[in-house]
Amino acid sequence: MSIERRNADGFALQVMLGLCLIWGVQQVMIKWAAADIAPVMQAAARSGISALLVALLMCWKGGWSQIPGTWRAGLLAGALFGLEFLFIAEGLKLTSAAHMSVFLYTAPIFTALGVNWLLPSERLRPLQWLGIVLAFIGISIAFAGGISLDNLDWRMLLGDLLGLLAGLAWGATTVVVRASRLSEAPATLTLFYQLIVGFVGLLLIAVLSGQVTQVSLTPVAVASVLFQGLVVSFFSYLTWFWLLRRYLAANLAVFSFMTPMFGVTFGVLLLGEPLSLNFVLGAMLVLLGITFVSAEQWLRRRIRRWL
């Protein structure tokens, strides 16, 4: 029997506010602790901690029985998940946490394009295509450093590009889940695949690149890894899946756009990161575009009521 999902209420808004705060501060924590522990090692450690916790949860609640029919898609989703955090880790060495927060959350754009191609039942509608156009215009403006090439910060530009690639990898992960048997598997199994494959891949990269030795167990490093492993990758992701089983996804998507705003705010307030006018304008267009893509049904209902 399918679960009847309802419109978001005050409780859902409060929970989403908390989740967006957690997700928004994530990039800031990684960059804050980067001097003590390499970002790739942070990503590997958080994935390992969360994978262990999810495995214990599955031993209690079940879910292992669906591995035979899902392991191929699970490995692919896990590889893309690991690639996403590799791009985030390397990108944060070059760009600001504020920039990373915005470019990472372009993921819904790439998800929409992917499912439009693979799933005929989810073809993009005109308002969504408009959102995609606005988002890519915003990305172009955010990348621009001015009329003269002399004004461009090439290191930040490369970091921004890695942030965009992280968003692409995240979007591709969602497409793999939606278009495979993982769409019918327990959320804990899907999350476990991503965490365990990401852990192995990221740890291997850290070893091969010598970053495994770039670890100093300072209070900042420990706090960052524990926050990411316990709060972000375990608690917040499972809470998000719990919300998706009870509320309409389009309603929740509207609230989730608070995340990059929190990321930008925390980056400026906690790390003292500067913001250029072109980035602010571009980010606003990106977020507007993402809203059109992810919350199209919700927006259409609101427009009809107004008219």
DSSP 92-153: TTTS-HHHHHHHHTTHHHHHHHHHHHH-GGGPPPHHHHHHHHHHHHHHHHHH---SSGGG--
Asked, for residue 182, whether it belongs to a domain, the answer is yes
Task: Give the CA count within 13 Å in the CB-facing half-sphere of 53.
Answer: 19
pLDDT of 92 over the 50 cut: yes
Distance, in Å, from the CA atom of 291 to the CA atom of 56, rounded to the nearest integer, reads 36
pLDDT of 249 over the 70 cut: no
Asked, for residue 1, whether it belongs to a domain, the answer is no
Percentage of residues in the chain having pLDDT higher than 90: 39
- In 3D, which of 118, 270, 107 has the Cα closest to residue 173? 107
Question: 3-class SS at 180?
Answer: coil
pLDDT of 146 over the 50 cut: no
Asked, for residue 135, whether it belongs to a domain, the answer is yes
Distance, in Å, from the CA atom of 133 to the CA atom of 195, rounded to the nearest integer, reads 33
- In 3D, which of 282, 230, 271, 243 has the Cα closest to residue 8? 243
Read off the pLDDT of each residue in 13-29 and give the average, rounded to a whole number.
89
Q: Are 77 and 173 in contact (CB under 8 A)?
A: yes
Read off the pLDDT of each residue in 238-249 and give the average, rounded to a whole number.
79
Overall domain count for the chain:
1
pLDDT in tens, 292-306: 877 777 777 777 777
Spell out the alpha helix ranges (H) of the chain: 10-32, 39-61, 67-91, 97-104, 107-118, 126-143, 154-178, 187-209, 219-226, 237-244, 249-256, 258-271, 277-294, 296-306
The pLDDT assigned to 163 comes to 93
Read off the pLDDT of each residue in 30-49 and give the average, rounded to a whole number.
93
Alpha-carbon distances of 230 from 28, 52, 107, 277, rounded to whole Å? 16, 10, 23, 36
Percentage of residues in the chain having pLDDT higher than 70: 91
Asked, for residue 85, whether it belongs to a domain, the answer is yes
Q: How confident is the model at residue 123 (pLDDT cuts 50, 70, 90)?
A: confident
The pLDDT assigned to 1 comes to 42
Read off the pLDDT of each residue in 14-40 and give the average, rounded to a whole number.
91
Asked, for residue 212, whether it belongs to a domain, the answer is yes
Collect all residues with Cβ–Cβ distance below 8 Å to 93 and sequence separation of at least 6.
34, 39, 159
Q: Are 275 and 98 in contact (CB under 8 A)?
A: yes
The residue length of the chain stands at 307
The pLDDT assigned to 230 comes to 95
Asked, for residue 126, whether it belongs to a domain, the answer is yes
Distance, in Å, from the CA atom of 221 to the CA atom of 47, rounded to the nearest integer, reads 15
The pLDDT assigned to 207 comes to 94
Asked, for residue 21, whether it belongs to a domain, the answer is yes
List the structure tokens of 234. Answer: 């375990």
Task: Give the CA count within 13 Å in the CB-facing half-sphere of 289.
Answer: 26
Alpha-carbon distances of 120 from 5, 31, 115, 291, rounded to whole Å? 23, 40, 8, 22
Instruction: Identify the residue with better confidence: 275 or 150.
Output: 275
Read off the pLDDT of each residue in 99-122 and give the average, rounded to a whole number.
82
Stated pTM of the model:
0.86
Asked, for residue 2, whether it belongs to a domain, the answer is no
Q: Given CA atoms 283, 285, 289, 295 in this order, what sign does their dihedral have?
A: positive
Read off the pLDDT of each residue in 165-194 and give the average, rounded to a whole number.
90
- In 3D, which of 259, 280, 226 has the Cα closest to residue 37? 226
Mean confidence (pLDDT) of the chain:
85
Q: Specify the amino acid at residue 271.
A: L
pLDDT in tens, 159-169: 999 999 999 99
Question: 3-class SS at 215?
Answer: strand
The pLDDT assigned to 297 comes to 72
For residue 185, give its domain range.
8-304
Read off the pLDDT of each residue in 195-210 and give the average, rounded to a whole number.
94
Which residues are 287's β-sheet partners?
A: none
The pLDDT assigned to 258 comes to 79
